Amino acid sequence: MCIIVTYRCPMRCKMCNIWANPTLKEKEITPEEIKLLPNVKFINITGGEPFVREDLDKIIEICFTKASRVVISTSGWYEEKVIEIAEKFPNIGIRISIEGLAEKNDELRGRPGGFDKGLRILKKLKEMGLKDIGFGITVSNNNSADMLALYDLSLSLGMEFATAAFHNSYYFHKYDNVIDNKEEVCGNFEKLVNLQLKENHPKSWFRAYFNRGLINYIEGNKRLLPCEAGLVNFFVEPYGDIYPCNGLEEKYWMEKMGNIRETPDFQQIWNSEQAEKVRNLVRNCPKNCWMVGTASPVMKKYIQGPLIWSGTNKLRSLMGKPAVLDIKYNT
């Protein structure tokens, strides 16, 4: 379950217009309404910038009654608040969005000093002993080289490193996020795939599979695995709407499954005809996007394909050969 607690945000990112479309503070989902949501395996709290919420600690407290793993995605802009939350919830996961090295990050995020803040927080969280920490990059046209530098940095700091490619969607309020220097971007993702296959941990080989999926997406191909948004995951909007994913675009289709304020019984929403209708739309969705929120659950559900691909390519890596990206093991 991904809970978008606000669309307010202090950043001014070039690849995302959430900041220009903020939610009204007094109308955002409340901790009491979050209590109505179901128990799940994993909760991602995101935004906007979740740390603008003054009641974030209450929200987290409730989330930990619903899932054993809770991860907050943040820009890292509110340094002190992140540290306060980490002190209060040492089991919390924290992912900081960093879009490149200092100059590129601050240019893309539209606020100077963001890179330094992000890095400072991560180092502090590590000193504090938090285990579930890392940073994530959204790759657009001009930061894929920096992605490799950030990957090195994540290895040296012993932190998680998540990747995404920019997408168009209602969520980002962006419709011109198109990678037009595919060769360079896919080439850098391919380097990353080969580096991750060299690592010793199987988790990194699955990350390599995920990044192979991003190359596939950027090249405009069909998703590697079916999309089951609305079945294996869902998104809760700041005003209580339940959507299958955050990748929708009105020009293709855009329907919600229900609203937790209008129907304060989640099971009723989940089992409704409308939810089933949405799942049918998902089955035929033409977007083929590949974002961690909707790719990761199906990578686990249809483990065979990712397993065969990563196993085969790990062996190739051990023999000094590059990964074969186009082996298709679709389910």
Rounded to whole angstroms, the Cα distance separating 86 from 2 reads: 20
Instruction: Return the residue of 52, 150, 229, 257 that touches ligand SF4, per CB under 6 A.
Output: 229
213 touching ligand SF4, by CB under 6 A: no
Closer CB to ligand SF4, residue 159 or residue 298?
298
Q: What is the CA radius of gyration of the chain?
A: 19
244 touching ligand SF4, by CB under 6 A: yes
Instruction: Return the residue of 285, 298, 299, 323 that touches ligand SF4, per CB under 6 A.
Output: 285
Provide the sign of the torsion angle of the four alpha carbons 64, 67, 71, 72, taken in this order.
Answer: negative
Closest distance of CB 165 from ligand SF4, Å: 12
Instruction: Return the residue of 227, 242, 275, 298 that touches ligand SF4, per CB under 6 A.
Output: 227
Closer CB to ligand SF4, residue 9 or residue 245?
245
Closest distance of CB 74 from ligand SF4, Å: 22
Rounded to whole angstroms, the Cα distance separating 223 from 233 reads: 17
Cβ contacts of 191 within 8 Å, gap of 6 or more: 148
Count the residues in the chain. 331
Strand partners, 96: 74, 135
Count of residues that interact with ligand SF4, criterion CB under 6 A: 12
Closest distance of CB 117 from ligand SF4, Å: 31
The total of other beta-carbon atoms located within 10 Å of residue 152's CB is 11
For residue 112 the two structure tokens come to 């100077």
| Closest CA relative to residue 168, chosen from 283, 291, 255, 20 | 291
Cβ contacts of 281 within 8 Å, gap of 6 or more: 253, 255
| Span interacting with ligand SF4, options 45-53, 198-206, 282-290, 318-326, rule CB under 6 A | 282-290
| Span interacting with ligand SF4, options 66-74, 196-204, 206-214, 245-253, rule CB under 6 A | 245-253
245 touching ligand SF4, by CB under 6 A: yes
CB 125 within 8 A of CB 90: no
Task: Please give the residues from 287 up to 326 whose contact with ligand SF4 meets the rule CB under 6 A.
Answer: 287-289, 294
Closest distance of CB 228 from ligand SF4, Å: 8
Question: Which residues here bind ligand SF4, judged by CB under 6 A?
Answer: 227, 229, 244-245, 247-248, 282, 285, 287-289, 294
